[in-house]
Amino acid sequence: MNPDSLGNFLEEKIISSRVAAVKGSYAERTALECKNMAESYLCDGRTFSRSGDDVNAAASFTYALGWLDAGRFIGFIEVDEKYFNESGDEIFITPGLDEHLNEKTGRYERMLTSALDSVKSGPDAESPMYKASEEIIRKAEYHLNSGEGFLNRNMTVNALAEYSYGYGWLDCGVRAGIIIILKNRGLFTV
């Protein structure tokens, strides 16, 4: 697997996705923002890929996939729920980008850790959306831990992909209004 295959997977997911909210509603507006984020990061990833920056391409594509999958989980977007790397295959990038990869991966690990320490579930504990917000936070934590596991196996690109994907989930939850930012607002897309 390489960043281009991640981009192709993302593009297919975007093309097959559909907004699943009432036209003109706030839910539709939020769904469109989720889809627009995915489309924007697909474009960014393609630009990075064309310029030879596989590190940022992989991060962009997997961040966008996090947005789409979280949007599906919340119920805003109808899209295939297939995970981008169900088999755990190693993601390969162009040789010679190790310094850039290590810097970005370390930074994203720190950012996701800080972001998780900066949020809490937003809805009332008796609301069904409370459980959704808790699950989104758990998903982000899972992908943080998964990234650390990949780092321990010297699969740094996979670690970066996991951090980016988990961050996409968290940002989508914040944008959807079901996760509250307590501090470090600059870490989030709001």
Give CA angle at 104 (175, 86), nearest 5°. 70
What pLDDT is stored for residue 40 in this prediction?
98
Backbone phi, psi, residue 173, to 5°: -60, -40
Q: Is residue 50 part of a domain?
A: yes
Find the CATH number of the domain harbouring 175.
1.20.1270.90
What pLDDT is stored for residue 87 in this prediction?
73
Average pLDDT along the chain, 190 residues, taken 10 residues at a time = 93 95 95 96 98 97 97 94 80 94 98 98 94 97 97 97 98 96 93
Q: Is residue 86 part of a domain?
A: no
The owner of tokens 């897309």 is 189
Q: Is residue 91 part of a domain?
A: no
What pLDDT is stored for residue 190 in this prediction?
81
Query: Considering its fold, how many domains does the chain have in total?
Result: 1
Helices 26-50, 3-16: axis angle to 10 degrees equals 150
Q: Is residue 90 part of a domain?
A: no
What pLDDT is stored for residue 80 in this prediction?
84
Which residues, 6+ apart, have CB-to-CB distance to 167 below 8 Å?
Answer: 63, 66, 108, 111, 112, 115, 140
What pLDDT is stored for residue 86 in this prediction?
76
Q: Is residue 29 part of a domain?
A: yes
Q: Is residue 92 part of a domain?
A: no
Q: Which domain holds residue 12?
A: 3-81+97-187
What pLDDT is stored for residue 145 in this prediction?
98
